[in-house]
Amino acid sequence: MLAKDRPLLEMRGISKAFPGVQALDKVDLDLYPGEVHVLVGENGAGKSTLMKILAGAYERDAGEIVIDGEVQAHWNPALAKAHGIAMVYQEFTLVPYRNVAENIFLGREKTRAGFFLDKRVMHQEAHSLMESMGVPIDTRLPVMELGVAQQQMVEIAKALSQEARILVLDEPTSALTVREIEQLFETIRRLKARGVGIIYISHRLEELFIIGDRVTVLRDGQRIGTRRVAETNADEVIKMMVGREIKDLFPRRYCQPGEVALRVQGLCTHDKLRDVSFEVRFGEIVGLAGLVGSGRTETARAIFGLDPRTAGTIEVMGKKVDHIDPPRAVEMGIGLLPEDRKRDGIFPILPLQTNVVMASLKQLFPRGILNPKKEQLEAGKYVKQLRVSPPDLAREVQYLSGGNQQKVVVAKWLCTGPKIFIFDEPTRGIDVGAKAEIHAFMDQLANEGNAILMISSELPEILGMSDRIYVMHEGSIVGEFPRGTDAEEIIRCAMGAKACK
Amino acid sequence: MQMSPGSRKTLLRQVPTVVWVLLGMILFFARFAPAFFTLKNAVNLLTQGSILMILCMGVIVVKITGGIELSVGAVMTLAGMVMAWALAYAKLPIPVALLLSLIVGGLCGLLNGFFVTKMDIPSFIATLGTQGIAAGISLGMNNGNVIWGLPASIGYLGNGTFLHLPVPMWLSVLAFLCSFTLLNFTPFGVYVYALGGNEQALVLTGKPAWWYKTLVYVYAGLMAGLAAIVITGRNMCAQPTVGLGMEFEAFSAVVLGGSFAAGRGTAIGTVIGVLFILILRNGLNVMGIPTYIQLAIIGPVLIGAIVLSVLVEGGAQK
Amino acid sequence: MTLKSFLLRFSRLLALVLLSMVVAVLNPNFLKISNLINIVRQASPQIIISAGMTIVLLTGGIDLSIGSVVTLASIIAGYVLTQTKLHWSIAIVSALGSGLLCGLVSGILVAKVKLPSAIATYGMLWVGRGLAFAIMGAFPYFGFPNAFRYIGRGILLGIPVPIWIMVAVALVVYLFLKYTTLGKSIYAVGANPYAAKASGLRVDRILIYTYMLSGLLAALGGIILTARLNAVDQDIGAPFLLPAIASPVMGGTSMTGGRGGIGGTIIGTLIMTVLVNAMNLLRISSLWQQFAIGLVVVLAVWLDMWIKKKTA
């Protein structure tokens, strides 16, 4: 299958550092015409950084980009485009109320008399483009009337209409149904036949073996290896992805779990969750693993009453809860450390002390009158306990580091005195030191008899911190594992490689 | 937003809610005010409404980009005052004065565009500011007095007829054709929708999105200049408060016409929105209802129609 | 950072002082006690109305219906005073009630129907206007009882009653925003509505209270105005809208919510009143006032945006 001639693209020894983290460390990647090169790796492995460097959106610290055998001295978005590199991002760049043809040619319209759209030519070209991709979409339909898959096709058509020779698809199937994925693959095969090189980023292993020619695994900013798909198997790829020894990194000291704190049965929401059931006991850290989009965060939101549930029961400390909304959840002693800290966790422009007391105003000041002394005292207590730095209570939280912001959110919940904690990605995007502190603190909380449900995309964290592990896939819980389970087994389960239980 | 693949709504459901309300209103007036449903009244209504129509043809373009244009009434007033000043005091030739009106409108639009794109001021504050500035100059430039003494021939633009139909009506049709063509048949139209629907998409093409956004406000200003010509011709004078409140009517008409959110709206829909307001006002007039009661009725009916449309057509999300 | 924000707040006061000094140099009459008291008295209704807008802005919303509510409340007061034989206190209660009711409707439209606040309150603007026309008809109300007029014209301990009321309102709003949990929650909703919801705050209720407060204060401003003018018509409220947006923003209240307070609003209003007063003293036609205010609004908002970008 592989063309024998020289590669379309070579990226050699690419390095890139962000403050506090080496995002890429001497990574190589090459791409031949007519090839699908799959890029896999956990979150934060460096895939998207590498692609942004390719697109010219980021500058690289070291390494070279070679196109058609020529080393490129200069590199920027315009040059990337000129060399036929096109990206299809997960977020679409389509104009909803205009039609397919206008979207494909956005910014490069065909005109008559230099002013009027030449709709006939645009539709003709758009139509033949769609035909050549094997997707006969009516180019006169407004994009908003198309399904997600069709919109994706329009994105790809848009990329191809710019004479793309190198096409980057970032998680293209994350929003597609099985049938739509089949259609996408059909299109990819046609593009291959035309000699287009495709870099395909995916979380789903099964796709790798259907559509990929070669696979490169990234982990912690390094290239672990590149394999021909025909010469490898799922086990090897998974091993490459997980790799490291993780046992000693985490401080979890096991203790005997107590009563059931939270029991969820048959939980459904209108779009994401199907029949989710699990339980968390006091004194226990329960990990909830799964791919991005598998419904973990949605589970947390539904328990906390942020999203409405359509079916199922939630029992808190043995009592069935009929109606739940956030104020109610707080009253019952549940605290939610949200996935998106900036969006749902902190009040960036408010001072530290206000952030800490915000969830417990009612408890601290039942008569509605604020007592600044008491506010400072309470906030100060938790700031000290969690070692937030700097411990300046008047400082706006936006000026704290990510790790300290996260501690502020933890402090906010400690202040309400909850018994059940839901930690959604507790250490995402924070530095190693703060990470260890938060892990130690979670361990302490559990050993003091609190119940903790921890959602994480980092497998080492799940394996290292959890006493029990549930795995979610496409909105359902597909497996439950005890502490000490192999990483490979959990990844396989999360990727839906096969049914497990 | 309907996203299910290939779902074509049934024909009846494609008709916007406001059209049904409009039809109901026409039937109501036809039944209770015999003088309403006549050709003469229809021509009369369209002539009087031509100014609102012209203004709305500019406002809709801004609205599609997600902007709110609250200065058109005051800009129209200012353009009319400047034009009348040029004719009555500076004794400039008519074509120059007309051009001046358009230039004043365009400059005010440029100011709006500058505020919005270069100073990052939210559009409705920026245009509210321009409203104050334009209204202030209009009042101050002639000490709050009306400018009289315009050449008689200027009246043709406001009261004359062409091919048996009033000139203002022709001009409003011209304004409609301009916006209709611009929005549907030019790349600029596509960019206007892109600015409202997905600005990032336009930025990624490498086109200067900020410049197109500025032009949109200039276009609205030009329309206000055109409206100024019509209203000055009709009144044969320039009043420093003539456009007071017009921006609110224009905004209502545009939203009624289906522009509930950024990236949405059409020229034809805007015509329907304008007709809605015109017919409501005209019908109440013909029924002989006193002005103050009309004002009491018009506001709530407009808002009721907007809320109903938004609720039925699901434009409530951001 | 606190020093910086202190300087920023200080700079507004400085602007007011500088402006006053310039005016005083141009016309010494400006510094007469009677003129200064006059300025504050003139500013009082606007400060009260702007206080309501300040609270709405703190939640990240905007209340475009404010002028309309001033009109409606004034007309309802005028109606009770002249068209009925009811006691004048009923006029005040019903005017305030109408303000609360308008705010309640706006609040429900924003919090429950989830309309953008600009659209919801713009709708309220029309409804309020319509009701005002429906109640009053074509003829203004005038000639109110002296007891009622005392609110606008009376003098207590050498200082006009409107100033006393304004000071009381300013104090209450200040304490409310600073020392109550509801006040804190208002800042929280404006700073980050998602986090507020995820922290268990009842965001819907907080928003509804906010718009009701805004309506109440607009009505109070209308009552003082009506009492002072001894007459009321349908155009009484509209001119208050623009300054009500401009003065909090000039005073450092952020249009995107979560930041600001009543102190800045008072200074912002005073700057505008001094500007108008100066134009009068300097014999600049009052017709140019709108121009000046329009310019000041744009500059103030631009400054706000600029500072935010610099400190971000």
The DSSP line for B54-123 is: HHHHHHHHHHHTT-----HHHHHHHHHHHHHHHHHTS---HHHHHHHHHHHHHHHHHHHHHHHHTS---H
Tens of pLDDT, residue by residue over B111-165, are 999 999 988 888 877 888 898 889 889 988 888 889 998 888 888 888 888 888 8
β-bridge mates for residue A421, sequence order? A335, A452
Q: Which residues of B touch C129 (CB under 8 A)?
A: 295, 299
Residue A347: burial class (beta carbons within 10 Å; 0-12, 13-18, 19+): buried
Q: What is the pLDDT along chain A (501 residues), one digit of tens a residue?
A: 444 578 889 999 999 987 666 788 899 999 999 999 999 887 667 888 898 899 888 889 999 999 988 888 888 888 888 888 888 877 778 898 899 999 999 888 888 888 898 889 999 999 988 888 777 788 898 888 887 778 888 888 888 888 789 999 888 877 677 777 888 888 889 888 888 999 998 867 778 888 899 999 988 888 988 999 888 887 788 778 766 544 446 777 777 888 888 888 888 888 788 888 889 989 899 999 887 778 888 889 888 888 888 888 888 888 888 888 898 888 888 989 888 888 888 898 888 888 998 888 888 888 888 888 888 888 888 888 888 877 888 888 888 777 888 889 989 998 888 889 999 988 876 766 677 788 888 888 888 888 999 998 878 788 888 889 998 888 888 888 888 788 778 887 887 755 554
State how many domains chain A has: 3
Nearest CA-CA partner of A154 in B201, C49, C216, C212: B201
Buried b (16+ CB within 10 A) or exposed e, C92-107: bebbbebbbbbbebbb
| Cα–Cα nearest to A122, from A138, A105, A145, A137 | A105
Contacts of C301 in chain B (CB under 8 A): 121-122, 125-126, 129
A135 at interface of B, judged by CB pairs closer than 8 A: no
Q: For the beta carbon of residue C157, count every other beta carbon within 10 angstroms.
A: 5
Q: Are strands C141-142 and C231-232 parallel, antiparallel or unpaired?
A: antiparallel
Residue A348: cis peptide before it, omega within 30 degrees of 0: no
Q: Answer whether B124 touches C (CB < 8 Å).
A: yes
A380 and A431: one domain?
no
Does B120 sit within 8 Å of C123, measured CB to CB?
no
Q: Please report which confidence band the pLDDT of residue B287 belongs to, taking 50, 70 and 90 as the band edges.
A: confident
CB contact under 8 A, C294 and B132: yes
Q: For residues A140 and A202, state if they share a domain.
A: yes
- How many angstroms separate the CA atoms of B248 and A315, rounded? 53
Residue type, B228: A
Q: In this structure, what is the dihedral angle of CA atoms B128, C264, C299, B245, given to the nearest 10 degrees?
A: 10
Nearest neighbour of B129 by CB, restricted to C130, C255, C297: C297
Contacts with C75 (C-beta within 8 Å, 6 or more apart), sequence order: C132, C135, C136, C141, C232, C234, C236
CB-based contact (8 Å) between A109 and chain B? Answer: yes
CA distance B193 to C71: 38
Q: Which residues of B180-209 are buried (b: 16+ CB within 10 A; e: fewer)?
A: bebbbbbbbbbbbbbbbbbbebbbbbebeb
For residues A135 and A46, membership in a common domain is answered with yes
The pLDDT of residue B4 is above 50: no
Residue C37 and residue C31: Cα distance in Å, rounded?
Answer: 10
Give the nearest partner residue to B1 out of A106, A144, A147, using CB atoms. Answer: A144
> What element of type H or E holds C51?
helix C33-58
What pLDDT does residue B3 have?
A: 38
Quick one: closest CA in A to B201, which residue? A93
In a domain, A248, yes or no: no
The reply to whether residue A354 touches residue C187, judged by beta carbons under 8 angstroms, is yes
Contact C305 B121 (CB under 8 A): yes
A107·B3 Cβ contact <8 A: no
The C-alpha atoms of residue B147 and residue B93 are separated, in whole angstroms, by 17
A152: its two tokens: 């994706």
Q: At what angle do helices B50-64 and B72-88 cross, to 10 degrees?
A: 130
Which residues of chain B have a CB within 8 Å of the CB of A97? 193, 197, 263-264
User: CA–CA separation, B54 vs B175, rounded Å?
Assistant: 6
- Whether A94 and A200 map to the same domain: the answer is yes
Do A76 and A143 fall within a single domain? yes
- Which chain A residues contact residue B63 at CB under 8 A? none
Same domain? A56 vs A156: yes
Q: List Cβ neighbours of B135 (8 Å cut-off, separation of 6 or more).
A: B74, B77, B78, B241, B244, C290, C291, C294
- Per the document, the length of chain B is 318
Whether residues A350 and C202 touch (CB distance < 8 A) is answered with no
Pairs of residues, one from chain B and one from chain C, whose beta carbons lie less than 8 Å apart: 125
- Cβ burial of A333 (10 Å; 0-12, 13-18, 19+) is middle
Contacts of C84 (CB under 8 A, 6+ apart): C90
- Which of A417, A440, A474 terminates a domain? The answer is A417
Tally of CA atoms within 13 A in the half-sphere of B82 that contains its CB? 26
Joined tokens for residue C278 = 């100066």
Residues A492 and A413 in one domain: no
Nearest residue of chain A to residue B205 (CA atoms): A107
Q: Could you list the residue range(s) of the whole structural domain that residue A486 is in?
A: 259-333+418-501
C181 and A368 in contact by Cβ < 8 A?
A: yes
Give the residues of chain C that fall short of pLDDT 50: 1
Does the reported pTM lie above 0.90? no
Domain co-membership, A24 together with A164: yes
Q: Is B206 on the interface with A (CB under 8 A)?
A: yes
CB A456 within 8 A of CB A287: yes
Do A175 and A38 share a domain, yes or no? yes
Which ipTM value was assigned to this complex?
A: 0.83
- pLDDT for residue A497: 59
Q: What is the residue whose two structure tokens read 């290239």?
A: A223
Q: Which residue does chain C place closest to B134, by CA atoms?
A: C291
Give chain A positions within 8 Å (CB) of C179: 369-370, 372
CB contact under 8 A, A349 and C259: yes
Chain B partners (3+ C-beta pairs within 8 A): A, C
The answer to whether the CB atoms of A95 and B197 lie below 8 A apart is yes
* Side chain identity, residue B102: L
CB contact under 8 A, A97 and B193: yes
Q: Let me know: does C306 contact B151? Beta carbons within 8 Å.
A: no
Determine, for residues A95 and B185 on separate chains, whether the beta-carbon distance falls below 8 Å.
Answer: no
Query: Which DSSP string corresponds to B170-223?
Result: HHHHHHHHHHHHHHHHSHHHHHHHHHHH-HHHHHHTT--HHHHHHHHHHHHHHH
* Test the C interface: residue of B78, B112, B125 with most C CBs within 10 Å: B125
Nearest to A427 by CA among A403, A447, A443: A403
How many whole angstroms separate alpha carbon B188 and alpha carbon B194?
10
B135 touches chain C (CB under 8 A): yes
Q: DSSP 3-state helix, strand, coil percentages of chain B (rounded to 5)? A: 70, 0, 25
CA distance C14 to chain A (A): 25
Facing residue for A94 by CB, picked from B5, B181, B201? B201
CA A126, A130, A131, A136 torsion: positive or negative? negative
CA–CA separation, B273 vs B225, rounded Å?
21
The pLDDT tens digits for C134-175 are: 888 778 888 888 888 888 888 889 889 999 999 999 999 999
Give A117's contacts in chain B (Cβ within 8 Å): 185-187, 189-190
Which residues of chain A have a CB within 8 Å of the CB of B189? 117
Contact C297 B132 (CB under 8 A): yes
Cα separation, A428 vs A442, in Å, equals 15
Which residue among B120, B139, B300 sits closest to C130, beta carbon to beta carbon?
B300
Beta-carbon contacts of residue A208 (< 8 Å; ≥ 6 apart): A38, A40, A202, A215, A229, A237
CA A192 from centre of chain: 28
Give me the residues paired with residue A64 across strands: A12
Residues A109 and A227 both lie in one domain: yes
Indicate the domain borders of chain B.
59-280
* Subunits close to C (at least 3 CB pairs below 8 A): A, B
Which pLDDT value is given to residue A44?
66
| C25 and chain B in contact, CB less than 8 A | no
In terms of DSSP bridges, do strands C141-142 and C155-156 run parallel, antiparallel, or are they unpaired? unpaired
What integer pLDDT is reported at residue C291 of this predicted model? Answer: 83
What tokens appear for B43 in the block?
A: 């021509």
Contacts of A400 (CB under 8 A, 6+ apart): A352, A388, A408
Q: What pLDDT is stored for residue A391 in this prediction? A: 82
Residues in chain A: 501
Q: What is the CATH number of the domain that holds A173?
A: 3.40.50.300
The b/e string for C129-156 (b: 16+ C-beta within 10 A; e otherwise) is bbbbbbbbeeebbeebeeebbebbbbee
d(CA B30, CA B42): 12
The two structure tokens encoding residue C119: 């659209």
- Find out whether C112 and C204 touch, Cβ atoms under 8 Å: yes
CB-based contacts of B90, cutoff 8 Å, min separation 6: none
